[in-house]
A and B are shown apart, each in its own frame.
Chain A
């Protein structure tokens, strides 16, 4: 009987083989051909969390902390993990939000591609660390909500708001930029050093891969090739001196203007301020920030305007030393030349440029000491008229100005630097041609340039840099606010671009008479209010005519000190401050004294008080 059906074994074996083939095909499909199972498995088991790097800190030149990271939290919600029976009122109370907000924040348009019920979205942002800590204790009661730590900024002081700048949330354009890895909700430097050094400060985001079990609990870190630890941003060593900055700001309260102080040998900016200013903590990431921003933005005194680099003023008499230097370098001025002045620059008996009463200037130093207009108009015309064509003369003159850093951005490591201006010969060709067709202009017509008026415009930074040029007797280094990044071992990685010496093309031999004159400006000239017996300060006052507002002149002063081994070059510009000697010179000398001696002599306290108390703000109607 058995052999009758022997062939049936083959049917049975075929059944076995076909079944095995079916299983193998199915395994091939599930494991190899269709990778959706694999992708789904990864999506189910591996949670991806962006890890935010800490933003780099900023220290001042003495290692004092200028900017630190203040933690805020964003609360992310994953809709399909939220327990519908959660205690909403407790939740809202802990976070200090209304139930209304809760409902609305969770009511997203789930049909839209922007949202998915399984992808976390920002439920509430900018929760300060103080209230978050309270909430965190109960976090376990609210599945579906995960916090993300964000680095907001905080300041242990109230100074240098313009220099430090602030951060803001990125905008759509920045998110779309493929070169950068910004995501919605990230912060980016909006102004000041935060903006200039964004790339160093921001660091590199990391990606944490977390293995979750079937209940969504975190089990383990996955350290595959895709998990990247975040890289912290680099800490910056700023060049400013916080104490000096704070002192200078206190002197400048209730005044409109700017102070820039530079260490001449290095180009490092010791102090850079613009008033009116604000407390940098006002623009911290918080719920109140928007209101604070609008208030500052609409303030008529324009606290957001950085007057040290964005405001352009005529340099006034501060320009005179440079006119003299150019004349001497061109061989057109013997430093002992006497130029008489009868209270004005006269030509052909006609009083052309007014001057004030002062003793006769027997040399260029005295000319600077008394800031004699006639003296400098005379030598300026010599420069312009050294050849037959004033065009050639002016071009030559401007070549020097160019080297002094005028009419161009100095290359400060900072956004929004303005270039200032000097008028070119083409400009005058056009301008006078428009007055009268074919008219040739003469040096006499542009003589106001000699005393720093007319079309000349400089920023206060440029003035401070020019003071540094005088202090260095003929060179400068590009002024900068950050000397380098602080590496992990504490060493400072300096930036090469700021190490280069830029020569201005005036021989050192020409500087002593000018500097002597500037010293006498302080000891016995227009800036006697800046005199302090302990330090030899060389300065120059300026009073720039002003046709704006109530028309009161701008008070200007620049200086360096000490005379023989200059440690600081400074420019002070006070809008509507009147004479250069009235406010700008005393304030500059106080800052110099504070920087060099560490404090101000008791005998000068009255001056300090007087400066602090002076109020030059526009009266609010």
Chain B
């Protein structure tokens, strides 16, 4: 089958493209409403936030057009040079960049600033796709796994030096692409398990976590016994009893309870070992030891190493009831602004909280507050659904690629956008910790818009060329 190499917009996936345009359009409107002041002189427009955003949209459109014109094979060929270049930019910013709100993440050109980590996400995505699609790579092998991890751990390290924890976190989104490409499920189970215990360790007494793990283990073990119904019932009764004791004792007998739980565990373990199910017992013991050490470690770090303002940030997310108003200020104001939108919002340009500086970073990281306040739940719902449809569309595009490079790249892009979307919107409503990352296409900010536009443009270009022989 011979198809001419499509150039221009023909062959571009129109569904994804229109989602993309919608998001950029909504973003411009939201930035406009934040910067909107009654009676502003039109001559000043380009110096307003919305004016600058308009310029950036122009630049991004130009970039999009350029990418559509050049050959799609360009990206796979030049993936590594681009990657290296972006690492150099990341390293360079530590020396040449300007410091804005505590992080040296920006290059400044006149009145425009540029954040290299936005390009680094794209470059890492290319590099990872290029590496994983090469014939020598096999994710079952430790070497391939190691290289894949190094590819995104290096930029993480450089970004953390700025320091910009939010952007660093985004690089972990490549775990989604790795999963699709065959990374072991066990790795994800262990990761999720460890992360959960790390987070729990931050805020809960590790002894409680220990009791919880024991109870869980006891229940799992009893399910591996014959007549599991009776055993399971026994395990449940034990669990309820221990929980009741915890509630009653207020820490005093916590060690005794832990001991009692361990005793029950041992009895079950012995019975289970007699049934020759040693592997279950081993796994559970390993999980408990690792889990407890994680919990203890993170608890220790939290209480003894973290500085108070860092503790406050974590508390504001996980234990807001412990925080004073100052630590909760951002999240309270943000939730109030979103909540004040109610069902259908105050109307375009009518948001008051987002205009009167109640919400911090209202045009960038907290742009979703403007959506919530002015468009209400209807608007929030629409934006979330728009993102979801866009993400799903990206996975569909990914799956129809013949080239592994294109598919992996597509999953990489989808993962990046997903993490931004979940953390940013979740953060404005108190669901996620306050991590300063923008909402793709919507938040004000040139490098972010340009970075995401390039990512999408390359993806759509690759997709339009997928049937090339």
Contact = CB atoms under 8 A, between A and B. Distances in A.
Interface of A: 1-2, 4-6, 8-9, 11-13, 15-17, 19-20, 22-24, 26-28, 30-32, 34-38, 40-42, 44-45, 211-215, 219
Contacts of B426: 22-23, 26
Nearest to A28: B377
A30 B339 CA distance: 5
Nearest to B388: A20
A37 B380 CA distance: 16
Contact of A27 (B380, B388, B421): B380
Interface in B310-358: 333, 335-343, 352-353, 356-358
Contacts of B388: 16-17, 20
B411 A214 contact: no
B387 interface: yes
A219 B356 contact: yes
Nearest to B403: A2
Nearest to A219: B356
Given A31-B342, A31-B372, A44-B358, A8 B179 contact: yes
A4 B184 CA distance: 13
B376 interface: yes
Given A22-B431, A27-B377, A42-B340, A6 B385 contact: no
Contacts of A219: 356
Contacts of B176: 12, 15
Interface string B107-140: 0000000000000000000000000000000100
B395 A40 contact: no
A12 B395 contact: yes
B279 to A, nearest CB: 26
B407 A2 contact: yes
Contact of B384 (A27, A214, A215): A27
Given A23-B431, A45-B358, A214-B358, A12 B179 contact: yes
Contact of A23 (B181, B353, B425): B425
Interface in B394-436: 395, 398-399, 404, 407, 411, 414, 418, 421-422, 425-426, 429-431
B391 interface: yes
B230 interface: no
Interface of B: 138, 176, 179-182, 333, 335-343, 352-353, 356-358, 372, 376-377, 380-381, 384-385, 387-388, 391-392, 395, 398-399, 404, 407, 411, 414, 418, 421-422, 425-426, 429-431
B356 A41 contact: no
A550 B308 CA distance: 89
A578 to B, nearest CB: 78
B403 to A, nearest CB: 10
Most chain A C-beta atoms within 10 Å of own C-beta, residue among B341, B352, B407:
B352
B404 A2 contact: yes
Contact of B180 (A9, A16, A42, A215): A9
24 contacts: A2-B404, A6-B399, A12-B176, A13-B392, A15-B418, A16-B388, A20-B384, A20-B387, A23-B384, A23-B422, A26-B430, A27-B380, A30-B335, A31-B338, A32-B342, A35-B339, A37-B338, A37-B340, A38-B339, A38-B340, A42-B340, A45-B340, A211-B352, A211-B356
Nearest to B373: A41
A5 B411 CA distance: 13
A30 B428 CA distance: 11
Contacts of B343: 31-32
A36 B335 CA distance: 10
B384 A16 contact: no
Nearest to A22: B431
A41 B339 contact: yes
Contacts of B339: 30-31, 34-38, 40-41
Contacts of B407: 2
A38 B411 contact: no
The 4 A-B residue pairs with the shortest CB-CB distance, nearest first, are A37-B339, A41-B340, A213-B356, A20-B388
B180 A30 contact: no
Contact of B341 (A20, A24, A31): A31
A36 B339 CA distance: 8
A3 to B, nearest CB: 10
B338 A27 contact: yes
Contacts of B377: 27-28, 31-32
A1 B377 CA distance: 43
A612 B334 CA distance: 78
Contacts of B338: 27, 30-31, 37
Contacts of B425: 23
